[in-house]
Amino acid sequence: MIKKLSIVVLILTNQMIMAQNNEAKMKNELAQNPLIAQWNTPFDTPPFASIKTEHYKPAINYALSEAKQEIEAISECKDDPSFENTIVALENAGKLLGKITSLFFNLNESNTDETMQELAMEISPLLTKHSNDIYLNQVLFSRVQKVYLQQDDLPLTAEDRMLLERTYKAFVQSGALIDAKHREEFRKVSEELAILTLRFNQNVLADNNSYSLLIKDKKDLKGLPKYAIEAAAELAKSKKEKGWVFTLDAPSYIPFITYAENRNLREQIWRAYNSKANHNDTNDNKEVLIQIANSRLRLAQLLGYENFAAYRLDNTMAQNVETVNEFIEDLLQASLPFAKKDLKQVSDYANANGFDSNLQRWDFSYWSEKLKNEKYAINPELIKPYFRLESVKQGIFALAQRLYDLEFRENTTIEKYHPDVMVYEVWDTKNDKFMAVLYMDFFPRASKRSGAWMTSFREQRKDLDKTDVRPLIQMVCNFTKPTSKEPSLLTFEEFNTFLHEFGHCLHGILSDCSYESLSGTNVYHDFVELPSQIMENFATERAFLDMFATHYKSGEKIPQELIDKLIASERYLAGWLSIRQLFFGIIDMNWHTITKAYSGSVEAIERNASLKAELMPMIDSCMMSPQFSHIFGGGYAAGYYGYKWAEVLDADAFSVFKAKGIFNREVADSFRKNILSKGGKKDPMQLYKAFRGQPPTKDALLRRCGFID
């Protein structure tokens, strides 16, 4: 008996020792994990070289555990709820988790692989569950609600009040008021939705990367500009192919669809581009997007809204579905007569030049570009030499210096996540203050999704000790790559994209807020595009172009004649381009104003949208919805109208710069003070009126487009 007992004790002792050893080993591994360890790096930037994909999961699990403890401490606090011990404490909870997940998900967009994508599928439900555990915590919500109801008796700043308002509303819109029997359904649907949106983006990326057009006969290159041919040759060489390879990445696809004389090949690549994630295979998104739309509807209805758009628009300048639909309809009616003239003009021109077929979608860019070049003598071979990427970058930096006293100092010692990336310290030279680190990632690759965007690895905030934590900003694009014969030369559209995304960067860089959730671009969706789109207005300003736009070979400044042509061409196809944007907005609203689960075809939704805002027949199997990452895989659901909404704002706002001078420091200081630095501190209309002195009107936009005199 004693001997048996001794054996049992020995076994238990060994098990305890093993458990302790495993725990010690785990703690040691966590201590060595670069995502958790202290970053002894310049400006606390991520040590990318040390971070491996296998580090994310244990680091996120650890950070989740820490975040849960922080939330429990707030919930179980014995003191009466106050702004500091509840609202501010919630704002500061989960900082480590946010630090790690910002890194992971931003890299999953810009430098991913299959392992990261699989891990994202595994991690996302954990994060959604954690979010639900916070917002469905009734004890925690009770504390938030008590502070919210006594706000009039509290000594709060305007920013404090906004944080309180946003926190309370976040709980309400995340299910805090849902009855107990429906909370589990809310949890389940929101977790499924997180997976579906990830899958949507992964399918688009996979389908985009799966296609390439190999041309072996040189005659099929006829019409293409030299830069496109050279890039295709280099891509073919990298793929060990003989000939020229074109892909669906914008720098490859756009020149081909615009200039290639071979109509059959134009049709082939157009169909491939416009049928992404719509081939009834493993990358098909039709069922995925229907599930997303239905899941969003269910969440909205659980929260008491008629549809998802009504739920989403509750936190916007527009505020409701009716306002958005009226806005789209007003602009549609203003645009349609001009769009019809644009289509007739291009069609007549094509017919007059020997085109004897009906104009199809793969013909429009080709013939409209020929007409544009004939009317304004503009083609990329004329324009691109003046827009060398390095010169454009320095010119935009110089503009930021002139307007906002910002200096961009390249830092080659800060680690980067890919060799293509360039890293800059941003300094306010007037106040000798460090403002941000800016990562600039310019060129397409298989590991990066298409498009262009700005995001951040860390957002600006002020810690409890009032230390100003400056942001780490990431700007990601897919510009024309340099070749062995030429540097990267941008099209005028790429130049505009650079200005646009850089405007978002300035919004993050110049942020001066106390709370991270209100800083930088954390504003209403239909306000966030103002700082980006206003920058595009500088694209044809002579005084700005003179700062950098010189021919990369001869060094001559861009001729005034060419600038005049660019300005004259700004209204070219303005009606056509306007209804295209409005068409996307209508698709978005159609998907997100359904009031019962949808089981019909995806094509039917698009055809319904086309009745209002399309002047050419739809092509079977070619649709926007299956690849519409903005709304099904990003943050623009029921918000795509915001691009046109912001056009109204940016045209109206830039009219002040035009009236007083595009470099006028009084105007620039006001824009920085009232818009760029304020983030979401106040209601955006208050911020806009503080800058403009009045609410915005559509007149400046309609005048810029040539729709009114």
pLDDT at position 294 over 80? yes
DSSP string, 311-369: HHGGGSSS-SHHHHHHHHHHHHHHHHHHHHHHHHHHHHHHHHTT--S---HHHHHHHHH
H/E run at residue 593: none
pLDDT at position 17 over 80? no
Tokens of 113: 């692989």
pLDDT for res 612: 87
**pLDDT level of residue 3 (50, 70, 90 thresholds):** low
Q: What is the overall mean pLDDT for the chain?
A: 94
Whole-structure pTM value: 0.91
- Other beta carbons within 10 angstroms of residue 413's beta carbon come to 8
pLDDT tens for residues 677-702? 999 999 999 999 999 999 999 999 99
Give the mean pLDDT of 633-644: 94
Give the mean pLDDT of 456-461: 98
Q: Cα separation of 591 and 583, whole Å? A: 12
Give the mean pLDDT of 386-392: 97
H/E run at residue 111: none
**CA-based angle 598:601:606, to the nearest 5?**
100
Q: What are phi and psi of 331, to 5 degrees?
A: -70, -35
Residues 6+ apart with CB under 8 A from 54: none
Residue 282 burial (C-beta neighbours within 10 Å; 0-12, 13-18, 19+): exposed
Q: What are phi and psi of 468, to 5 degrees?
A: -85, 105
pLDDT for res 8: 60
Give the mean pLDDT of 280-285: 97
- Output the CATH code of domain 384-570: 1.10.1370.40
Q: Cα separation of 660 and 645, whole Å? A: 24
Q: Are strands 468-469 and 461-462 parallel, antiparallel or unpaired?
A: antiparallel
306 is catalytic: no
pLDDT at position 11 over 70? no
- Output the CATH code of domain 203-209+281-376+571-709: 1.10.1370.10
Q: Which of 270, 316, 289, 246 is nearest to 588 (CA)?
A: 289
DSSP structure class, residue 407: E
Lookup result for tokens 């009745």: 611
Catalytic residue among 191, 369, 501, 529: 501
pLDDT tens for residues 261-282? 999 999 999 999 999 999 999 9
pLDDT at position 4 over 80? no
DSSP string, 264-288: HHHHHHHHHHHTTT-SSSTT--HHH
Range in 78-82, 140-144, 372-376 with the lowest mean pLDDT: 372-376
Q: Are 44 and 50 in contact (CB under 8 A)?
A: no
Which residue did the predictor score with more confidence, 174 or 11?
A: 174
Give the mean pLDDT of 322-340: 96
Lookup result for tokens 């790429």: 494
**pLDDT level of residue 508 (50, 70, 90 thresholds):** very high
Range in 292-306, 400-414, 562-576, 660-674 with the lowest mean pLDDT: 562-576
Q: Are 483 and 237 in contact (CB under 8 A)?
A: no
The percent of residues in the chain predicted with pLDDT above 70, rounded, is: 96
Q: Are 453 and 435 in contact (CB under 8 A)?
A: no
- Output the CATH code of domain 33-177: 1.20.1050.40
pLDDT for res 323: 97
Q: Are 569 and 375 in contact (CB under 8 A)?
A: yes
pLDDT for res 16: 61
Q: Cα separation of 248 and 316, whole Å? A: 34
Q: Are 553 and 673 in contact (CB under 8 A)?
A: no
Tokens of 286: 């039709």
CB crowding 171-194: b at 16 or more within 10 Å, else e: bbbbbbebeeeebeebbebbbbbb
pLDDT at position 527 over 70? yes
Q: Cα separation of 634 and 451, whole Å? A: 12
Q: Cα separation of 518 and 531, whole Å? A: 16
Q: Are strands 433-441 and 472-476 parallel, antiparallel or unpaired?
A: parallel
Range in 180-184, 247-251, 317-321, 435-439 with the lowest mean pLDDT: 180-184
Give the mean pLDDT of 2-22: 59
pLDDT for res 32: 86
pLDDT for res 30: 77
pLDDT for res 521: 98
Q: Are 599 and 549 in contact (CB under 8 A)?
A: no
